[in-house]
Structure 1
Amino acid sequence: MASKRLVDSNRGNAGDFIGESAVTQSCEPCMKTNISKTATVFCKDCDEYLCDACKNPHTVYKPGQHNIVNSQDSKSSPVILDMKGMDKCHEHGREIEFFCQDHSKLCCVSCVLIHRKCDQLDEIAKISRQIRPDLQAIKQSLIKLQSEADAIIADCKQSETGLNESIAKISSEVDTMKDRIIKLFEEAKQKLIREAKQFKTAEVKRIENKRDASLKVQKELNNVFSMCCAVLDSGTPSQQYIYSELMKEKRKTIESTMDDQKKIKFLSTMTVSFPQQVTSLLEMGSNSIKLNYEGNKTGILFNS
């Protein structure tokens, strides 16, 4: 019969033999990283076998008290194991003492009444001596699964960290691009202003030349006009005739100069134009930047 206090005999040491094969206990932390090293000590408080390399980190970094003994002496002090109700029949609440091979069911004495006609109903106390190799194999598979679970959790943490780092990197890249664009526009603005000032200087020179020529004509017209009035008012017919003939050529010269000045045109305003790429970017607005992620190389658009 199973006892309420069971000695944990599921771990072996280098002195155990199963049939003709010797069982060597491996270091459990090393096995989690798929490394096979023979355990030299055993922590009674943590119920864990350790090699020399893992002993010190175990006592320093793992919380709690650690009663470390030689792995060969791990059986010298029996460990009382609490099965947490696993050794009780869920149906009758009694201790499990039998195993029905026909139904693969653990049974108590009450269950035996139901399974008494089964072909193979074994008493656990008699067959449990041969179960150690299977339990050791289960333990090794659990250690492997635990290592895989740790790797999955680490991968999840790494992925989450990667996402956080990606957000920071994206923000930095966008800020860098924004600064480059601002710098580009500022440089383009300064170039544009220089060109505008150069154009203005050239136009102002043309304006001054036209104004000077017009002022000269205006001054000449004032003089001619005063003389014309004097001859008209006080001149003899002969004087008026002579002046009239002289003024015909003079007037042609003045009119020709005036026509030339009228043909000179100026631009009093300047405007600025932007390439289609810039206006298209502005039309896209906040949709001008796309988010890329693995599996979507062309980019996906997220709108708030």
Structure 2
Amino acid sequence: MEVSGKKLRNYCKPCEQLKTSTFSDGFCSQCAEEMCQRCFDTHKQFKLNRGHILVQSVEAKSKCKETPTFDNCTKHLNEDIKFFCPEHDQVGCGDCMVISHKTCKVEYILEQIDGYKDNEEFIKLTKDIEKYDSEAKTMLGSIRSNKDHVKDINKKFALDVNIFRDEMIAHITKLSDAMLKYGDDIMAADMKKIENLEEENKRLVDETNGMRDTLQSEVDQPYKLFISSLSYKQNLHLVRDQLERIKANNKIETYDFMPDCNLEQLMKTCKQLGVMHKPNESGAALREKTVKANRATPMTKDQCSQTIQVTKDQCSQTNQSLLDRQLVCKNLIIDGDLISCAVKAKDDCGLFIDKYTVSCDDLATFEIEIVSIGRGGYIAIGVVPDDYPNNLLPGFGKDSRGYNSDGKVFMGSKSGEKYGNKWKVGDRIEVQM
């Protein structure tokens, strides 16, 4: 006769393992095994087994029908998983409990599984599985959207590069190819990142689907449902951590091609086709840097992270372009009234010195508009003598005056006085000195 996956036995189970045939005197209801009296007496000597009861044959058969097949312990292959430690949320055989949980209050699994599928903890576990499964699927949609977005960004970038390249003379083609390769490298890196995230997320979806399917298939098998639930409860922590990491990494940087508007003037010395701009890029990495407008405005590379617009009525020379008026122009790109900088070395600065000169009794007027500000950018405008150092901000050195983007005025000293607010995008700065 076969019940619940286990046959009724007429012989003592422990004796059978010792290759001895001994008739059973009864059935241990807790261990679900036939035993002779001698084996049962020995069995009860262990602390975990002292409360076990040996029942007679008829009752034993009834108990056997109600007892599920136990899983073998992975650490002790000859033992069955029958016990549960609530303190550590772990199951194991009697050896596991004696070795690792001897100070814990161990419970018998068969006493815990009745009605487990209606337990609040199990209900919460299934809801958490559904929650993370839904989040994983939503994240997969976002990843795939970003995958398409990466291609669109690169497509637009390549188009802008090609349009600008077509307007240049023949030898610019080499520079444009280099710039396109730069864009392709970024796309390849982004695509690899997104595809890796996609694969990771697919695995999470498969894992959560597997958890849900397993639990649904074991709803009518309380013992297996209990074992699986404990395992999945711990696995969900890993799923949650992986989802958080995927969320944090599921970001891409957009970039546009920004052509060098002064390329024709710089044709002989130009070493790059334009600027690859990424929104929110740090000042140190952004190639478009701000430099001083009008007069002397030397800066370090870290300071060059803003773009300024010089107005046409600046310095009473509205009939002259900035290119005509420059006395010194270092590391600058000038497009009409727009000044920007692309430094090539760590300690480079941007510098513009106007031909405009004033006598001691005159006042020099400066007006600029802030078009773009990078991270950590710095601008200064002012008047300096002819022999003023090119690496010193106006106002810092002798016989010079300067107004800086930190809102301070400097008069021949590096100790400035508060004059106004810090400059920001859209500000029009007008100063008389």
TM-score (norm 1): 0.34
Larger radius of gyration: 1
Would you tell me which structure has more strand in proportion to its own residues?
Answer: 2
Would you tell me which structure has more helix in proportion to its own residues?
Answer: 1
TM-score (norm 2): 0.25
